[in-house]
Amino acid sequence: MGITASTTTGTDKLPEGDSESVSPQVVNVADYGVLPNGEDSTLALKAALEASKAKGATRLVFPKGRYEFFPDFADEAYLYASNNDEGLKRIVFPLVGFENLTIDGQGSEFVFHGFVNPFVVEDSSRIAFEDFSVDFSRPFHSEGIIVEEHDDGMDVRIPEEFPFRVRNGLLVFIGGEQEEGMLTTVSRGGVYGSGHLLEFDTEKRQTAYMARDYYFNGTASYPARNLGNGVVRLLIPGLVGTPGNTLVFGPNHRDHPAFVVTRSEDVSFESIVLHHAGGMGILAQLSHNIRVNNCKVTPSHGRMLSTTADATHFVNCTGYIKLTNNLFENQKDDATNIHGIYVQVVEVTEPNEVLVQLKHRQQHGFDFLHSGVKVEFVHGKSMISFGEAVVKESTRINKEFTRVVFERDMPEDLEVGDVLASIRDYPEVTISGNTIRNNRARGMLINSRGRTVVEDNYFHTPGAAILFEGDSFFWFEQGGVRDCVIRNNVFDNCLFGVWGKAVIDVRAGILEDREKSRYNRNIRIENNTFRIFDEVSLLHAYCVDGLIWENNTVEKTDAYPPLDKSFKRFDISYSDNVIIDGEPYVKD
């Protein structure tokens, strides 16, 4: 199985409007009424997609232009996208059951309007996305310029492109296009619910130095008074920020990721520009062989934010994951996270039967315990694997709970609170030639047991540039590298924010038996350049077996004010076989 997309990119561009004569395997969307004329192309696109499938077309071509997509006539499906929010979605490109199709944008802009999900790829193979941009006319987040701080909060000036109203003491962001009808007991309206505040440095276009997150759990609006002329007084005790900086109002959901790839094979992204999504940029789950090359996640229209969550994210994937030559900037979360999912044992019902629960809200509906799947049993507190089994059959009770019967009895020391995850063809990960900068939080979260190479990247992240984790009490993400190389990267003044202990941060959610539990193994960090503005930690390692630190360069800068704390350059605990610059590491 190969990716066809990368070999044809940049060649074979079709003359506009004349596709049928070129090849019967090419469908030109214009022939189906998908036109860059300002009108909603959603319904016509559906016809073009159906025709592509019926004809066995291998290429769906968009003559270069700006295409508009609205939710009204979009397909609808209840979508579970791990680490995003489930729900009934309107899907503009529902690529379900497709084989061997390239969506060729020829440099087009795809502009989405309202509460809509751009792309879903499901049960498909050999799907390539090439050469187009994705944006939303009204982003799911909003922004304002900080005017001044007050005792009871802060004044912000909100530009017209982020419509809002203040009513009954609450600031609510809205679409601004449609009129809002009469208010009744059943009104809800076109509200762009927000639940997170974060300050960005307007000049540097990155999260403000040491800015912290403000979370508003379960709410959609903010206490406020309208001062007129676009200025709103936020009445939030303790809210601080620097006048002139940008306050980003993050959405209170991850309902609208740009691309969701589920149970698919050989999916590639080539020269895609992702300006925005109401959730992650690319979320791939239970899929095999994913490549993202020469893509950009970057804001448009002078906005501070691109996607409102991770740029990319991979869950229970197999084969390979290649992130090469991309720009990931200004997204409101990490550049990537590659991991598996643990379910928790809530009841041992038979020697070979358990009731398990998907614990994290955004993992609900992540059904993977099918017949034939091999799993590992892991002690919840020590994260030590203690056995394996093969699923005989499973019964889904609902999106949270599943009853699982194994072919043989389970290990006898299995207890409620232990977790299990699938053992699979863990993906080989290649992360090379990327620029990661100015987003909230971290760079790359590396949690695959397949061979993992991170090389020739540039990192300028406010938190850890590279994070290893895995736990069974909150995120329930399975990780634990087995063979990981980090080389020839530039880590440029990372850790100017609050999201990390070290530039390279190797963690694990091990609460018990830390003397013997070794979660991450065989990490080699070499030939990298670390530019640091203070004596920050370069490396934090916890419960690691096998780590080599070699030939890395450290350069001091004055990019940021020094931090008001002291760090150890190497902060290593409960680890074995750690070699720093040729010497076995000995804890001070």
The answer to the question of residue 216 lying near a second copy (CB under 8 A) is yes
Kindly write down the DSSP assignment for every residue of 406-438, as one continuous string: ESSPPPTT--BTBEEEE---PPEEEEES-EEES
* CA 125 – CA 96 distance, rounded (Å): 10
Interface region with a second copy, contact rule CB under 8 A, candidates 229-237, 266-274, 297-305, 427-435: 229-237
Binding residue for a second copy, selected from 2, 15, 24, 189, defined by CB under 8 A: 189
Q: How many residues bind a second copy (CB under 8 A)?
A: 64
List 16, 161, 213, 393, residue binding a second copy (CB under 8 A): 213
Backbone φ and ψ for 20, nearest 5 degrees, come out as -60, -35
Instruction: Please report which residue ranges of 333-407 form alpha helices under DSSP H.
Output: none
Cβ proximity to a second copy: between 63 and 144 the closer is: 144
Per CB under 8 A, 86 contacts a second copy? yes
Note whether 33 binds a second copy by CB under 8 A.
no
Which of 47, 96, 170, 579 binds a second copy (CB under 8 A)? It is 170
Q: Does 219 bind a second copy (CB under 8 A)?
A: yes
Name the minimum Å distance from CB 355 to a second copy: 9
CB 76 within 8 A of CB 89: yes
From the CB of 575, what's the least distance to a second copy, in Å?
26
CB 307 within 8 A of CB 296: no
| The one among 33, 36, 176, 193 contacting a second copy by CB under 8 A | 193
Stretch that binds a second copy, among 372-380, 396-404, 506-514, 528-536 (CB under 8 A): 396-404
76 binds a second copy, rule: CB under 8 A: yes
Minimal distance, residue 235 CB to a second copy, in Å: 5
In the complex with a second copy, which residue's Cβ is closer, 216 or 530? 216
Q: Which stretch binds a second copy (CB under 8 A): 61-69, 70-78, 118-126, 377-385?
A: 70-78
Question: Which one among 4, 60, 90, 504 touches a second copy, defined by CB under 8 A?
Answer: 90
Q: Is 330 in the site for a second copy (CB under 8 A)?
A: no
C-alpha to C-alpha distance for 367 and 158, rounded to whole angstroms: 42
Nearer residue to a second copy within complex by CB, 172 or 578: 172
**In which residue are the tokens 């991850």 written?**
254
Using rule CB under 8 A, residue 49 touches a second copy: no
Task: Return d(Cα 378, Cα 384) in angstroms, integer.
Answer: 5
Give the number of other CB atoms < 10 A from CB of residue 349.
Answer: 12
Amino acid letter at 298?
T
Tell me, what amino acid is at 461?
A: T
By the rule CB under 8 A, 254 interacts with a second copy: yes
What is the enclosing helix (H) or strand (E) of 51?
Answer: helix 42-55
Which of the ranges 178-186, 314-322, 375-383, 513-521 carries the binding residues for a second copy, by CB under 8 A? 178-186
C-alpha 381: how far from its chain's center? 27
Rounded to whole angstroms, the Cα distance separating 552 from 582 reads: 12
Query: Does 72 engage in binding with a second copy (CB under 8 A)?
Result: yes
List the one residue from 333, 418, 471, 505 that touches a second copy (CB under 8 A): 333
Q: Which of 11, 21, 217, 229 binds a second copy (CB under 8 A)?
A: 217
Residue 474 to residue 559: CA distance in whole angstroms: 35
In the complex with a second copy, which residue's Cβ is closer, 18 or 76? 76
188 binds a second copy (CB under 8 A): yes
Q: Which stretch binds a second copy (CB under 8 A): 73-81, 155-163, 286-294, 409-417?
A: 73-81
Q: Does 221 bind a second copy (CB under 8 A)?
A: yes
Q: Is 401 in the site for a second copy (CB under 8 A)?
A: yes
User: How is residue 405 written in tokens?
Assistant: 């019967």
- Answer yes or no: are the C-beta atoms of 454 and 444 closer than 8 Å: yes
CA distances for 559 relative to 124, 204, 440, 562, angstroms: 47, 11, 18, 9
Decide if residue 176 touches a second copy (CB under 8 A): no
Site string for a second copy, 278-307 (x = CB under 8 A): ------------------------------
Q: Answer yes or no whether residue 182 interacts with a second copy by CB under 8 A.
A: yes
Kindly list the distances between the CA atom of residue 374 and the CA atoms of 265, 377, 405, 495, 579, in Å, as whole numbers in the listed order: 20, 10, 12, 39, 34
Cα atoms in the Cβ-side hemisphere of radius 13 Å centred on 488: 8
For residue 191, state whether it binds a second copy (rule: CB under 8 A). yes
Indicate the residue among 218 and 582 with the shorter CB distance to a second copy.
218
Interface mask toward a second copy for 454-493; x: CB under 8 A: --------------------x-------------------
Q: How far is the CB of 224 from a second copy (least distance, A)?
A: 8
Nearer to a second copy, 86 or 505 (CB): 86
CA dihedral for 552, 558, 560, 565, sign (positive or negative):
positive
DSSP 455: E
- CA dist list (Å): 47 to 43, 97, 124, 242, 487: 7, 16, 18, 51, 48
The footprint of a second copy on residues 121-160 (CB under 8 A) is 153
Exposed (0-12), middle (13-18) or buried (19+): which is 493, by Cβ within 10 Å?
Answer: buried
Q: Which is nearer to a second copy, 223 or 433 (CB)?
A: 223
Give the whole-angstrom CA distance, residue 387 versus residue 182: 60
Contacts of 238-242 spanning 24+ positions with Cβ under 8 A: 239/149, 239/153, 239/154, 239/197, 239/214, 240/149, 240/154, 241/146, 241/149, 241/154, 241/199, 241/208, 241/211, 242/146, 242/199, 242/208
Both tokens assigned to 353: 């039967």
Should residue 172 be labelled a site residue for a second copy when binding is judged by CB under 8 A? yes
Under the criterion CB under 8 A, does residue 186 sit at the interface with a second copy?
yes
Q: Return the residues of window 507-566 that contact a second copy according to CB under 8 A.
A: none
Residues found near a second copy in the complex (CB under 8 A): 72-76, 78, 83, 86-88, 90, 153, 167-170, 172, 174, 180-191, 193, 196, 213-224, 235-239, 250, 252, 254, 309, 332-333, 360-362, 397-401, 474
